[in-house]
Amino acid sequence: MKFRGHRLNKSRCKTWVSVFYNENKNTDKRKIKVFDTTLRDGEQTPGISLTVDQKIKIAEQLDELGVNYIEAGFPSSSEAEKSAVEKIAKLDLDASVCGLARTKKNDIDACIDSNVDLIHTFISTSDIQLKHTIKKDKEEVKEIVSEKIEYIKEHDVSCLFSAMDATRTEKSFLKNLFSLAEEAGADIINIPDTVGVMTPERMKKLVSDIRKDLDITIDVHCHNDFGLAVANTISAIEAGADQVQVTINGIGERAGNACLQETVMSLESLLNLETNIKTEKLYEISKLVERLTGIKLLPNSPIVGENAFSHESGIHAHGVISNSETFEPGIMTPEMVGHKRRLVAGKHMGKHSVKEMLKDSGLDPSEEELKEITKRIKELANKGKKITEVDLYTIAEVVMGSAKEKTIDLKELAVMTGNNMIPTASVRANIKGKEKKASETGVGPVDAAINATQSLMNNFPNISLTSFRIEAITGGSDAIAEITVEVQDEQGKAIKARSESEDIVEASVKALISAINRLIQDK
């Protein structure tokens, strides 16, 4: 697809591509089921504890995304967890709701009471776990597995059986156990790589061996201890598995689980298989999970990371401006996953992307000016500065001699804070030649100052603050704080600006005002 501007916003083109992609999924393709465990294994990420309402919010969005199963939690682990699973089971979602249970009557009963569609029961099967975790021998395990699966099926609930630590389990015992599980009525068996020790080759061999003996659905659950969770999951599917256990953003125990968005896009775009996922919703749900769990994605995260479709390097940007497939996979576009393609200003940029980015602001530098702007951007970046769009436009205007008067001119900023008072800030600014004042409170001085500045912004109701980041660039209590903010207008046009100062409050307000000025100027 042709590149359109340095930020491909909610264009008709985007809507068309994603609707076309998702509504024309070829029904002849092999279908892979997606079992999402963000709310169970994902929540086991150290430090995460979701409230019932947060779990419900994520479950609803997972349902809209189109996952086949939502593992809502482990009901016997606490009353709040049971209540969350019960409430999710009552939501009448299209996805089947699953609860986790040890092979213990009490755990299984808690799932039955929660009215889940599917009970996921598990028991340790590797020698190390048999000895140190459940202290039982293999014969005892076989008996428990048959008995508990039959108990679940007597209650008319579907059953998923997991052999915990399957990939470190003696193969003949594992196969024997899965056959017993199938005989006892299990609907699905799961092969968990509990401590993430598989490689794609080994996973392929194990899954194809198990596939030969079983007719029921085979599911895999891969952990990411060596960074191979997605690769192992894909390999399992190539070897004949039917279903993948995944989490949004790959969250989960230790290094996490196979990441849903990476697994789904690999299955669809690389293997040409079909899932029920509405891929254009991947970015949005990733952001929701990031916000509610507090686990931030790295910018270079595949599919949904900030840089997944961003181009700073001149050679890449030059190619992408002409045809995005020059430096993107093509078989996966930002539109397909609800993301945006961006050109980014910085040290590595070249004149073609400078020109393309300035076009959006109505700036059309001559060839000489373009060279000079590019040179100055590089000089600034070489001083270790992170370049924002506002830096680029400001440099361009200086070079082109076209600097315009600022719409908002900050005149005064005052903040009061202390241990026994509500932080309060006042700002005074000249807005389009008229003096305006605003005062607001906040949870801290920065928040109060940003709130007061946003009050001034009531004059521009269509502009909202979409991102705010503080970083210390030097050490010590006199560190220089670098503030980066992003503001957006109602058409989705976004502008980033940066400011730095030893005074964190002043830097915050200046960055925000500078971004707003730029956005207004562009209009």
Ligand X SMILES: CC(=O)SCCNC(=O)CCNC(=O)[C@H](O)C(C)(C)COP(=O)(O)OP(=O)(O)OC[C@H]1O[C@@H](n2cnc3c(N)ncnc32)[C@H](O)[C@@H]1OP(=O)(O)O
**Residue 484 interaction partner, one of ligand X, ligand KIV, none, beta carbon < 5-8 Å per kind:** none
CA distance 296 to 277: 23
**Residue 190 interaction partner, one of ligand KIV, ligand X, none, beta carbon < 5-8 Å per kind:** ligand KIV
Q: Does 41 bind ligand KIV (CB under 6 A)?
A: yes
Nearer to ligand X, 111 or 164 (CB): 164
**Residue 162 interaction partner, one of ligand X, ligand KIV, none, beta carbon < 5-8 Å per kind:** ligand KIV
385 secondary structure, DSSP code: P
In the complex, the smallest distance separating the C-beta of residue 194 from ligand KIV, rounded to whole angstroms, is 4
CA distance 230 to 297: 16
Q: Does 81 bind ligand KIV (CB under 6 A)?
A: no
In the complex, the smallest distance separating the C-beta of residue 199 from ligand X, rounded to whole angstroms, is 20
Q: How many residues bind ligand KIV (CB under 6 A)?
A: 9
At a CB cut-off of 8 Å and minimum separation 6, what does 339 contact? 282, 283, 303, 304, 308, 309
In the complex, the smallest distance separating the C-beta of residue 180 from ligand KIV, rounded to whole angstroms, is 18
Are β-strands 464-472 and 481-488 bridged in parallel, bridged antiparallel, or unpaired? Answer: antiparallel
**Residue 341 interaction partner, one of ligand X, ligand KIV, none, beta carbon < 5-8 Å per kind:** none
Chain position whose Cβ is nearest to ligand KIV: 192
Query: According to CB under 6 A, which one of 3, 122, 151, 161 is a site residue for ligand KIV?
Result: 122
In the complex, the smallest distance separating the C-beta of residue 201 from ligand X, rounded to whole angstroms, is 24
Contacting range for ligand KIV; rule: CB under 6 A; set: 190-198, 266-274, 388-396, 495-503 = 190-198
**Residue 393 interaction partner, one of ligand KIV, ligand X, none, beta carbon < 5-8 Å per kind:** none
In the complex, the smallest distance separating the C-beta of residue 204 from ligand KIV, rounded to whole angstroms, is 19
In the complex, the smallest distance separating the C-beta of residue 299 from ligand X, rounded to whole angstroms, is 29
223 secondary structure, DSSP code: B
SS3 readout for 133-200:
HHCCCHHHHHHHHHHHHHHHHHCCCEEEEEEECHHHCCHHHHHHHHHHHHHHCCCEEEEEECCCCCCH
In the complex, the smallest distance separating the C-beta of residue 158 from ligand X, rounded to whole angstroms, is 19
Q: Which residues of 1-25 are buried (b: 16+ CB within 10 A; e: fewer)?
A: bebebbbbeeeeebeebbeebbeee
Q: Does 192 bind ligand KIV (CB under 6 A)?
A: yes
- Return the amino acid letter for 287: K
Nearer to ligand KIV, 221 or 498 (CB): 221
CA distance 100 to 39: 11
User: Where do contacts with ligand X occur on this chain (CB under 6 A)?
Assistant: 41, 44, 74, 77, 102-104, 122-124, 133-134, 164, 194, 253
**Residue 221 interaction partner, one of ligand X, ligand KIV, none, beta carbon < 5-8 Å per kind:** ligand KIV
Phi, psi of 339 (to 5 degrees): -105, -175
Contact assessment for residue 489 and residue 453, using Cβ atoms and an 8 Å cutoff: no
| Size of the chain in residues | 523
Binding mask of the shown chain, residues 138 to 177, with x at each position contacting ligand KIV by CB under 6 A: ------------------------x-x-------------
Nearer to ligand KIV, 194 or 275 (CB): 194
In the complex, the smallest distance separating the C-beta of residue 192 from ligand X, rounded to whole angstroms, is 7
Contacting range for ligand KIV; rule: CB under 6 A; set: 187-195, 302-310, 348-356, 412-420 = 187-195
Q: Does 103 bind ligand KIV (CB under 6 A)?
A: no
- Among left, alpha and beta (phi > 0; psi -120 to 50; other), residue 281 is alpha
Of 305, 306, 311, the C-alpha closest to 323 is 311
Site for ligand KIV in 208-227 (CB under 6 A): 221, 223
CA distance 401 to 395: 10
Are β-strands 33-36 and 243-246 bridged in parallel, bridged antiparallel, or unpaired? Answer: parallel
Contacting range for ligand KIV; rule: CB under 6 A; set: 12-20, 172-180, 189-197, 351-359 = 189-197
User: CA angle, 24 as apex, 21 and 25 as ends, to 5°?
Assistant: 90
Of 193, 106, 85, the C-alpha closest to 151 is 106
Q: Does 129 bind ligand KIV (CB under 6 A)?
A: no
Query: According to CB under 6 A, which one of 38, 190, 374, 508 is a site residue for ligand KIV?
Result: 190
How many other CB atoms sit within 10 Å of the CB of residue 154? 9
For residue 369, how far is the Cα from the chain centroid? Answer: 40
502 secondary structure, DSSP code: S
In the complex, the smallest distance separating the C-beta of residue 44 from ligand KIV, rounded to whole angstroms, is 8
**Residue 74 interaction partner, one of ligand KIV, ligand X, none, beta carbon < 5-8 Å per kind:** ligand X
Nearer to ligand KIV, 194 or 451 (CB): 194
- Binding positions for ligand KIV, rule: CB under 6 A: 41, 122, 162, 164, 190, 192, 194, 221, 223
